[in-house]
Structure 1
Amino acid sequence: MPFDLVASEGSVWTATSSGIEGAAPAGTDLFVDPSGESGVAAETLLNAHTLLGTPPEGDFTFAADVTPNLRATFDAGVLLAWVNDTNWAKLCFERSPAGEVMMVSVVTKGTSDDANGFLANAPSTRLRVARVGNVLAFHAYDRDEWRFVRAFTLPGAATELTVGFEVQSPTGDGCTASFADIAFERQTVSDLRNGE
């Protein structure tokens, strides 16, 4: 990694032989309910267990193998793209309310949306964040190719972005997630739809 990562206050991160591991206690999440009934972003970030750093200027890809210990609904290991406490996005390898494991993406611009992606049939997956100009894209590696999850922008995405990791357990009694084979490359993804 060509930049330092800084842990959020109170979060627990441990170096492993192939990457890092994060442990989040019960009640940790990063979500601002669009109904306005819950989830003040600044307070939620203090509860979120994150590890973030500022990438160099320009286009890049940031990827890792994500292996969360999914026991409760919405437990997840996450790649996080963060501008400030009202503009951020996360790509989650998450346990659904139906008990399935799937890709979930959340983009927050004041309030959060919530979009389910495709199901996964494995205990781990490779996730990626790509920046091209002021556009960000989420991909997951599946069946020997990058599969598109979504493309979007955030105010300040080209100049003020930090990227890194999050672990969450909003309804459970805690979650751990390992992030291995972490890779940062200064490259431009020419086609965000197919990930190449």
Structure 2
Amino acid sequence: MRKFFFIAGTLMGILVMAGCGNKPAEQTTAAVETTSDSARVSGIPCDVKLPGIHFTKAINGADTSIALSEGGKIRFRAGEKKDFFCDPNEQLSNNTAPILLSAVDNTKPFTLMAKVKPEFTKEGQYNAGVLYIYVNDNFWQKHCFEQDERGQHRIVTVRTVGTSDDNNHDVVTSPAVYMKISSDTRTVASYYSLNKKTWHMVRLYKNNYPSKIWMGISNQCPVDKGSFSDFEELSLTQSSVKDFRMGD
């Protein structure tokens, strides 16, 4: 992917190109918005309705990468070497993972929650089912149930402000976990649970996102030849947890 920045000068315009990955040629015709900081906002309109959430934006063909079943379950597929990451060293940068998004009013509290069951394989390093906060391609956070370098399955969070950090959290032996991201407009926190009752906080920081943001889901397969993740009990509400330490 390439990002194009247009800076008005007193004598002439200057075209600057920057990027955190290489977008496939077939994706270059997708609709693009430009934010005030000139960062690229990916995605095209879609219409995927579930009982607890309505997805209206698709990045990298996400709306064609899903299969819906009764009860609002989604099987989300990703092809070979699909990831979303802005590597500080640029070696691992890749923004080809499909992402489904739903618009959120960030001036109000919100919570995105899902039961996530990724397909973990022998060669599936960094395979993950993912929840997202997305503003643009340079400003986002993902909350993952992911396979690490040693084949362990753990909770991971990545926050990107220009470039991405990478934070490995608890190892989880259950095949599926409940995950959620919640905000009261001032604070954003990410949690996981094995039983939807006891929640474990893995990340908390100041909510410095703009008034309109996007929340969503994704499946990633950065190394292997393709994978899927199952999402169940999806919900997006304009309410937050009451106790940000406990996640209740």
TM-score (norm 1): 0.90
Superposed CA RMSD in Å reads 1.7
Identity %: 27
Give the one of 67, 71, 93 matched to 1:14: 67
Contact 1:87-1:154 at 8 Å conserved across structures: no
Relative to structure 2, which stretch is displaced further, 87-96 or 28-37? Answer: 28-37
Relative to structure 2, which stretch is displaced further, 68-77 or 13-22? Answer: 13-22
Partner secondary structure for residue 22 of structure 1:
strand
Partner secondary structure for residue 193 of structure 1:
coil
**Structure 2 residue 227 is the aligned partner of structure 1 residue 178:** no
Q: In the alignment, residue 59 of structure 2 is paired with which amino acid?
A: S
Q: Post-superposition shift, 1:154?
A: 5.7
Corresponding residue for residue 116 of structure 1? 168
Structure 2 residue runs of 5 or longer lacking an equivalent are 1-51
Q: In the alignment, residue 56 of structure 2 is paired with which amino acid?
A: L
Q: How many residues align?
A: 190
CA distance in 1, matches of 2:239, 2:209: 19
Give the one of 94, 100, 106 matched to 1:51: 100
Q: Post-superposition shift, 1:2?
A: 5.3
Corresponding residue for residue 140 of structure 1? 192
Relative to structure 2, which stretch is displaced further, 113-122 or 135-144? Answer: 135-144
CA spacing shift, 1:100–1:2, aligned 2, 3 Å: closer
Q: In the alignment, residue 74 of structure 2 is paired with which amino acid?
A: I
Contact 1:74-1:95 at 8 Å conserved across structures: yes
Corresponding residue for residue 125 of structure 1? 177
CA distance in 2, matches of 1:2, 1:67: 18
Q: In the alignment, residue 48 of structure 1 is paired with which amino acid?
A: A
Superposition misfits of 4+ residues, deviation over 6 angstroms: none
Q: In the alignment, residue 60 of structure 2 is paired with which amino acid?
A: E
User: Which has the higher relative contact order, 1 or 2, with Cα contacts under 8 A spaced 6 or more apart?
Assistant: 1
Structure 1 residue runs of 5 or longer lacking an equivalent are none
Corresponding residue for residue 97 of structure 1? 149
Contact 1:74-1:169 at 8 Å conserved across structures: yes
Alignment of structure 1 residues 56-95 onto 2, 5 Å: 56=105, 57-71=107-121, 72-95=124-147
Q: In the alignment, residue 151 of structure 1 is paired with which amino acid?
A: L
Corresponding residue for residue 31 of structure 1? 85
CA distance in 1, matches of 2:88, 2:144: 18
Relative to structure 2, which stretch is displaced further, 11-20 or 116-125? Answer: 11-20
